[in-house]
Amino acid sequence: MGDFTFTEQESYEANFAQVYDKEIVPYLRELEERRIRAIRRSHKIMAAIAMVSLFLAWRAYQLDPVLPIMPVAFGGFACLFFYISRGDKLQGELTAFIRPILSDFMEDISFSEESSAEEVQLANLERLCLVPKADSRTLGPRISGSWRGVNYQLVKASFVERYRDHENKQRTRTLFSGILVEIECWNPMPTIVFLPDFGKIANQVYSWATRDVRPPHKLDLPNELERVFEVYTDDRDRAIEALDTSFGQKILKMSEEFQGSESHMSTAFQGNTFFMAIRLDHGFLSFDVMSRPLSEVDEKIHQAFRDLTIPRRIIDQILD
């Protein structure tokens, strides 16, 4: 069993090593023993499945040389299922244990495992074209707090739709997976929506499809921003007056930091709130570490701290 250590890397992690040693390490040691037992148990189950599959394949071969394909395939799928899911229960326990500890350590953050459509203003986000209408959605966890005198809320969210493929089989696809962020605006803003630029023809189609929900007036932008955004507002004069000329560049910078290669990040102003829908390239506050020793969970803790400070970094970039 490896050493359980946590090396503080950022200023907001100061003194967390003591919390890690006192509150987290004893739990990790116990969970690591359970993880090892679960792996051994899954190996035995997979070995038994393999033996049964080979026996059935041998008996099937005596009837027809093609028939062994079926028991071998079913056995392979069963082994794969046990291999993938063997740590799911323990991962859920670790996540439920460690998330509140991290959020409590940050002091200015309130944490909740779940969130409602009303708390994230889902109907309003749909009207602003920031999130898709979907057959099912998952909301939570949720964090809220204040940074530099600015209130914020962040909610993990995913939106999934059901459809039928060319064989009429029902499938699902993820329309959005990431976080929904609300940042307080000190001064009331007109409605301003930053929509993606799909290209000339696609923009016309999208503009027609959203004509009943998006704001009516289009804002002209510098060329480098026109390649990324289509911006609409309900009050052109107020929007031009309220928006800093560098704000579009700030959105691009934040998009690169949080979304990586995906250049467009859906954002909108409305009243005293700035909304953001950010597609993350990793699971927010995720602790999927059951495939390796739990002594390596410190890297996931560093990532979780970065997740918890996303609103802080957004507010810093807006205000600076």
Span 40-78, pLDDT tens digits? 777 777 777 778 777 777 777 777 777 677 767 776 776
Residue 91 has pLDDT above 80, yes or no: yes
Query: Are 195 and 252 contained in the same domain?
Result: yes
Q: Residue 4 domain-assigned?
A: no
Report, as an integer, the average pLDDT of 19-47: 86
What's the pTM?
0.83
Q: How confident is the model at residue 21 (pLDDT cuts 50, 70, 90)?
A: very high
Q: What percent of the chain has pLDDT over 90?
A: 43
Residue 269 has pLDDT above 90, yes or no: yes
Instruction: Report the C-alpha gap between 202 and 204 in whole angstroms.
Output: 5
Query: Are 67 and 210 contained in the same domain?
Result: no
Report, as an integer, the average pLDDT of 230-238: 88
Q: Residue 105 domain-assigned?
A: no
Report, as an integer, the average pLDDT of 178-189: 94
Three-state SS at 233:
strand
Q: Please name the residue that has the structure tokens 């690169």.
A: 256
Contact call for residues 308 and 109 (beta carbons, < 8 A): yes
Domain that holds residue 168: 117-284
Q: What pLDDT is recorded for position 201?
A: 60
- Secondary-structure percent of the chain, ordered helix, strand, coil, rounded to 5: 45, 25, 30
Query: Are 133 and 277 contained in the same domain?
Result: yes
Q: In Å, how far are 62, 129, 141, 157, 217 from 276, measured between CA atoms?
A: 63, 11, 16, 12, 20
* Domain count within the chain: 2
